Chain A
């Protein structure tokens, strides 16, 4: 029985890496009349579903995808976050209910 694991992969520029997008966002805050905000870093969030027998296997797939494709280790860090796990039998049971 495979389980559907929903992950979010959060990719952010590594500390010290120039982030002109973050700087541009920060620069626009005064136009909004917002004060006291600093350290804006703009990254990317990718959500995806992995079918696997257990969370360890599913996470390994998500980690591989995150490290090889979704982020560049020279300039970006990533964090894999489990959002939800749904087993197919559970969803069938819910469907029957």
Chain B
């Protein structure tokens, strides 16, 4: 049985269909979760897709943070559930305090839609373990507010504890600069493109792996990240099922 993965749909989400498509390609059963529903329908992992949730009014991601579904996602994350935020989904996670940092307006002020290259800093996480040997990964960005910001103490802490998952890099794989380097198009501090929380079960990134998940789209470099998530969620679901079965056996032997 394929693993069920939730894709949250906010009013203004626009990558939900791309995400469900990529999840299905990776063998998962995608489940759309409407923003007004509090139940997560028993999914084994949740992806917050890209878009402009609630029009990105006030600040990208902030209004989505208070939706019924996000309260459930926060509870799911607190219980160790796997959550991945892509682009606007990353902004929602940051606003909700589920991952560190905040996204500022791109340094150049413009909305940017183009390919970037990112390096996978840690290949041993639930989000990256099937990223594949190809480096760096090429996939698109599409955002106006993607300049990752955190104070220097937080940045040091993220780096020291392996919580920087992805960095913008140049074609040759060297880490991009912060200012006036086209390889870091939004000017993110320390060229950070994605991070995870301290527990390691919640991650976000600005680039779109789901839009680079088959050769037809020009790159399938992102598919390894989608597959990593699906496999990790499937493993989590198996562990839950095994624990339940164990409990059932215990009850039966009493």
A residues engaging B (CB < 8 A)? Answer: 17-18, 20-21, 24, 44, 69-70, 72, 74-75
Contacts and interface: CB of A to CB of B under 8 A. Distances in A.
A20 B109 contact: yes
B102 A74 contact: yes
A35 B59 CA distance: 32
| Secondary structure dominating the interface of A | mixed
Interface residues of B, number: 19
Given A17-B149, A18-B147, A18-B149, A72 B106 contact: no
A20 B104 CA distance: 9
B113 to A, nearest CB: 18
A70 B58 CA distance: 7
A44 B59 CA distance: 11
Contacts of B102: 72, 74-75
A4 B108 CA distance: 42
Given A18-B147, A20-B109, A74-B149, A69 B104 contact: no
Nearest to A16: B151
A70 B66 CA distance: 12
Most buried by B among A17, A24, A74, A75: A74
Contact of B104 (A18, A24, A44, A70): A18
B201 to A, nearest CB: 22
A74 to B, nearest CB: 4
A23 to B, nearest CB: 9
Nearest to A18: B104
B245 interface: no
Interface string B92-122: 0001000001101111110000000000000
A18 B102 CA distance: 12
B204 interface: no
Nearest to A24: B109
Nearest to A74: B102
B62 A72 contact: yes
Nearest to A46: B58
A15 B16 CA distance: 37
A44 to B, nearest CB: 8
B31 to A, nearest CB: 29
Contacts of B150: 74
